[in-house]
Structure 1
Amino acid sequence: MTERVQVTRNDDGSARPRIQPLAAEQWDTRTRALLATATRDPGGRVPNIFTTLVRHPDLYERFLPFGGQLLHTGRLPGEIRELLILRTSYNTGASYEWGHHVPLAKEVGVTDADIERIPRGPEADGWTDLERHLIRAADELHCAARLPDATWDALAAHFDDADLIEITMLVGLYHMVAYFLNTIGVQLDPGFSNSGFVDGARELG
């Protein structure tokens, strides 16, 4: 059973991050340059994930192009990408990522019904065969760090070699992001909601 992370809390009971986002008045010239290309929230602010990660500017500078490649200019159709990200967010208990990616998923055609069934896993009613294989692949990568032949063959019927590589790297990326978000306790930004997220990571056998 996975042990739950103990979150430090403020006096009012709200969660407090272990590392605070870097406040705008603390941004030096390099920080401003790094954050200038960060995706903004609808309100124009830089999300907490970036203003926290930028405390390690060398890592931030190298991470953003890789993450951007998979998120913005990858080979996978947007709906497939977001299904994999949301299932991985659920598997890892990453409510921050869930809150940010539900709107992105809806923009690329993931339906409310799809989002509601993601926590129920690959056997939930309503998935297409391909969607079921994708959700199962996210689970198998999460639990075993590899895909069995049956899942690989099912996906290979729909995707070429480069797509299959991207599926594994995408799920892996969002595990890494979840480790960071969950351990630091990065707080969901104003204007976003993690409604529908099942609190806490799945218990694994």
Structure 2
Amino acid sequence: MSLVPYPDIASLPEEVRTAIAQAPVQLNIFKMMANAETCFIPLTRLGGTILSRQKLDARLRELVILMVAKVEGGEYEWIQHVPIAISVGATQAQVDAIQRSAIDAPCFSEVERASLRFTEEVVNRVKAEEATVKELMKFLSPREVVETILTIGFYMMAARITETTRTDLDPPAGTKVIDALRR
């Protein structure tokens, strides 16, 4: 049971109730975020944009999200994003390597290793080393670098919400959320 109670959905503003009702999956993270009712719609829009409208490659995005979950200890996001990562082309070997913190494993390409190293540094030190940023920029445009930072920050926030509130774990939703964003 969560440490912070979920809101009474019926007492939330209509816009929030409608958004929750229209979600492709009734995930506990959304219910928990609805406690912050004035932030709920902007947060879900940002999350949806990260998952569906970035130039950043979806497989790379999901590897970054898994790295954030690994470094942060975000069990909820790990459970939800492993199936998504696999669905967009990540391999089980890559998921296992991230789980072991083996970002130099041969299953990763140069851009993937640079992205994972970048992610680890941003999460742990706030800013990545200059050399790490320059290495990543060999592969990604400035837009994609900033999108990576936004992805890292969003999923750091998600991990802090779910871990601090002890949000109840949901079974993996698979690609239902992503599929709904593609429509």
Q: Same fold (TM over 0.5)?
A: yes
Query: 1:135 matched to which residue of 2?
Result: 116
Match of 2:178 in 1: none
Q: Is residue 62 of structure 2 the alignment partner of residue 82 of structure 1?
A: yes
Asked if structure 2 preserves the Cα contact closer than 8 Å seen for 1:88 and 1:142, the reply is: yes
How do residues 109-124 of structure 1 correspond to structure 2 at under 5 angstroms?
A: 109-119=89-99, 120-124=101-105
Map 1:183-202 → 2, pairs under 5 A: 183-190=164-171
**Structure 2 length normalisation: TM-score?**
0.86
- Consecutive unaligned residues of structure 2, counting only runs of 5 or more, are 175-183
Alignment-derived partner of residue 34 in structure 1? 19
What letter matches 1:166 in structure 2? Answer: E
1:182 aligns with 2:163: yes
SS at match of 1:33: helix
Shift of 1:27: 6.0
Aligned counterparts of 2:171 and 2:120: Cα–Cα separation in 1: 30
Give per-residue Cα distances to partners, 1:84-112, cap 9 Å, x unaligned. Answer: 00010010001000000011111100111
How many residue pairs are counted as aligned between the two chains? 173
Distance 1:34 1:28 in 2: 10
The residue type equivalent to 1:76 in the other structure is: L
Q: Could you say if the C-alpha distance between residues 17 and 165 of structure 1 is closer, same or farther in structure 2, counting changes exceeding 3 Å?
A: same
Look up the SS of the partner of 1:35 in the other structure: helix
Going from structure 1 to structure 2, the CA distance change for 1:149 and 1:29 (only over 3 Å counts) comes to closer
RMSD (CA atoms): 2.0
Match of 2:154 among 173, 178, 181: 173
> How far does residue 22 in structure 1 lie from its aligned partner after superposition?
3.9
**Deviation of residue 55 (structure 1)?**
2.0
Identify if the C-alpha distance between structure 1 residues 62 and 24 changes in structure 2 by more than 3 Å, giving closer, same or farther.
Answer: closer
Aligned partners of 1:98 and 1:39: how far apart in 2? 19
The answer on whether the counterparts of 2:80 and 2:173 sit within 8 Å (CA) in structure 1 is: yes
Percent identity over paired residues: 26
Q: Match for 1:93: what amino acid?
A: G
CA distance in 1, matches of 2:146, 2:16: 32
Cα 1:153–1:190 shift into 2, 3 Å: closer
- Tell me whether 1:150 sits opposite 2:131 in the alignment: yes
Rounded to whole Å, the distance in 2 between the matches of 1:169 and 1:32 is 27
